[in-house]
């Protein structure tokens, strides 16, 4: 069947409901064909989460009907945590069979979630797995989750340089099932050090009797096992590679990172940046499954810090009580400072994240932001002059207008310089959230307002 997919959305929940009914019936009746049709349908409408609604006994029977390969496909489409939850509701033997069918890097990620939630169950599953595949998972668990080691798979194909093209194709035929990609064949020396790479299509299109040493390119891009996952993902993308080899400190090939992981990593990093920019610590887990307690833990720290930092505004207003005529414009002025800061900091932090702006760019970045800030500040000042001046008189209009320009420039400066300064101090610039800039600019914005008022107004 050819499915030309368009985005779902409408009436999805009813579909999901009736699909769940159908799965239950198929499982109850032991109807293989219908169960398979349901599995296919679940993939199609992206309703894998339905598996979570099945009771353990139903899951067990579904497993018996569909077999481990099909279930592995279904589970690997789910979020790691959801997949882990379903696995722990099966018998250890069934869970082990399914994990064996999933690519080792993905299986490790799911296994890590099982271990976190239920270490005993995880131990039992590992015992039930084939020794080789359990060892792969154990090895991969040793690497930090956000490094090249944490996302690589050991399922690559490597040959010695004296193997002939046709022998290599024959060898491939035997391992094709196991390997995650056979787009590249890697060439290693007797010490397992990476010395060349060869694409499948070069191999297929070349004369059968040539040794791979003649066909391989030695111009290889690889990453060390402890490189940051985001760096590896960007490298893979920028170089248009289908896979990137990972080497240990001695240059030995220990894994590859494949294209299918790149999108996930970049999405994950973008999500982290967005959450940080909004003023939370990254959740590191899907919002859907994040508990209230976790959300509070991730948000309260920054919120409380900003709250206490906000006391400064109260202190400024207590120390220098503004005249009544100035009060109505306080929220407008500090709000505008915050909005300008938010625009600047989000654009800039993102540009830094994708590598467009670096430390040495601070000069032109500041100049650009100040020019933009000046233009926007002047435009708003004109409006402010009339809004404040008409009810309160020309002098107040002037004070508010001048304050808007100054606060806009000040806010643009803080938002432009702070992320670059943090990068300089080796702190992730994404910790400079929009709320942080807003809070920083609030108290200083008030001081600017009160100083300008003091200078312009004849009687305060």
Q: Which of residues 303-362 bind its own copies (CB under 8 A)?
A: 303-304, 306-308, 310-311, 313-315, 317-318, 321-322, 324, 327-332, 334-336, 338-340, 342-351, 354-361
State the number of binding residues for its own copies (CB under 8 A): 136
Residue 227 near its own copies by CB under 8 A: yes
Per CB under 8 A, the segment of 92-100, 111-119, 125-133, 237-245 that binds its own copies is: 237-245
Per CB under 8 A, the segment of 54-62, 123-131, 207-215, 380-388 that binds its own copies is: 380-388
Least distance to its own copies, CB of residue 276, Å: 9
As a whole number of angstroms, the distance between CA 20 and CA 12 comes to 12
Residue 442 near its own copies by CB under 8 A: yes
Least distance to its own copies, CB of residue 156, Å: 14
Residue 376 near its own copies by CB under 8 A: yes
Closest to its own copies by CB, 25 or 267? 267
The sign of the torsion formed by the CA atoms of 371, 372, 375, 376 equals negative
Least distance to its own copies, CB of residue 334, Å: 6
As a whole number of angstroms, the distance between CA 447 and CA 319 comes to 11
As a whole number of angstroms, the distance between CA 258 and CA 265 comes to 11
Residue 193 has phi, psi (to 5 degrees) of -80, 135
Report the candidate in 456, 460, 419 with the shortest Cα–Cα distance to residue 437.
419
Residue 159 near its own copies by CB under 8 A: no
Residue 116 near its own copies by CB under 8 A: no
Closest to its own copies by CB, 65 or 440? 440
User: In terms of C-beta density within 10 A (0-12 exposed, 13-18 middle, 19 or more buried), how is residue 261 classed?
Assistant: buried
Residue 57 near its own copies by CB under 8 A: no
As a whole number of angstroms, the distance between CA 118 and CA 114 comes to 6
Residue 425 near its own copies by CB under 8 A: no
Report the candidate in 336, 438, 328 with the shortest Cα–Cα distance to residue 379.
336
Q: Characterize the bridge pairing of strands 243-247 and 194-199.
A: unpaired
Partners of 217 in beta bridges? 197
As a whole number of angstroms, the distance between CA 20 and CA 42 comes to 9
Select the residue interacting with its own copies from 120, 131, 190, 287 (CB under 8 A): 287
Residue 19 near its own copies by CB under 8 A: no
Select the residue interacting with its own copies from 51, 151, 256, 266 (CB under 8 A): 266
């Amino acid at each position: 069947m050819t499915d030309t997919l368009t985005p779902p959305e409408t009436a999805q929940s009813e579909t999901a409901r009736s699909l769940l009914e159908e799965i239950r019936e198929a499982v109850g009746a032991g109807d293989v064909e219908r169960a398979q049709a349901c599995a296919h349908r679940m993939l199609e409408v992206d309703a894998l989460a339905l598996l979570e609604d099945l009771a353990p006994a139903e899951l067990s029977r579904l497993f018996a009907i569909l077999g481990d390969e099909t279930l592995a496909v279904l589970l690997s489409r789910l979020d790691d945590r959801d997949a882990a939850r379903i696995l722990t509701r099966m018998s250890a033997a069934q869970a082990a069979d399914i994990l064996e069918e999933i690519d080792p890097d993905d299986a490790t990620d799911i296994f890590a979630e099982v271990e976190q939630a239920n270490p005993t169950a995880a131990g039992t599953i590992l015992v039930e797995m084939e020794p080789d595949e359990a060892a792969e998972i154990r090895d991969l668990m040793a690497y930090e989750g956000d490094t090249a080691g944490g996302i690589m798979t050991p399922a690559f194909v490597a040959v010695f340089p004296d193997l002939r093209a046709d022998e290599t194709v024959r060898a491939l035929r035997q391992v094709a099932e196991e390997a995650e990609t056979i787009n590249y064949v890697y060439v290693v020396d007797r010490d397992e050090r990476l010395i060349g790479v060869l694409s499948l299509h070069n191999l297929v299109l070349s004369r059968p009797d040539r040794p791979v040493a003649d066909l391989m390119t030695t111009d290889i891009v690889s990453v060390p096992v402890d490189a940051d996952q985001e760096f590896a993902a960007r490298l893979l993308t920028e170089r248009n590679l289908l896979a990137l080899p990972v080497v240990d400190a001695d240059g030995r090939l220990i894994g590859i990172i494949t294209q299918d992981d790149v999108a996930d990593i970049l999405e994950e990093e973008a999500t982290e940046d967005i959450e940080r920019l909004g003023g939370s610590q990254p959740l590191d887990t899907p919002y859907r499954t994040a508990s209230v307690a976790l959300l509070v833990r991730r948000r309260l720290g920054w919120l409380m810090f900003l709250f206490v930092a906000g006391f400064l505004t109260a202190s400024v207003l207590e120390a220098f009580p503004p005249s009544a005529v100035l009060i109505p414009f306080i929220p407008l002025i500090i709000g505008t400072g915050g909005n300008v800061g938010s625009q600047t900091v989000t654009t800039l932090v993102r540009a830094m994240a994708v590598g467009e702006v670096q430390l040495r760019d601070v000069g032109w970045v500041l100049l650009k932001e100040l020019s933009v800030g000046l233009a926007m500040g002047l435009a708003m000042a004109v409006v402010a002059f009339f809004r404040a001046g008409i009810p309160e008189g020309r002098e107040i209009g002037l004070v508010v207008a001048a304050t808007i320009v100054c606060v806009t420039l000040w806010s643009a400066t803080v938002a432009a310089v702070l992320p670059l300064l943090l990068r300089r101090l080796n702190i992730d610039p994404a910790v400079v959230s929009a709320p942080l800039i807003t809070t920083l600019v609030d108290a200083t914005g008030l001081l600017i307002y009160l100083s300008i008022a003091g200078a312009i107004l004849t009687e305060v």
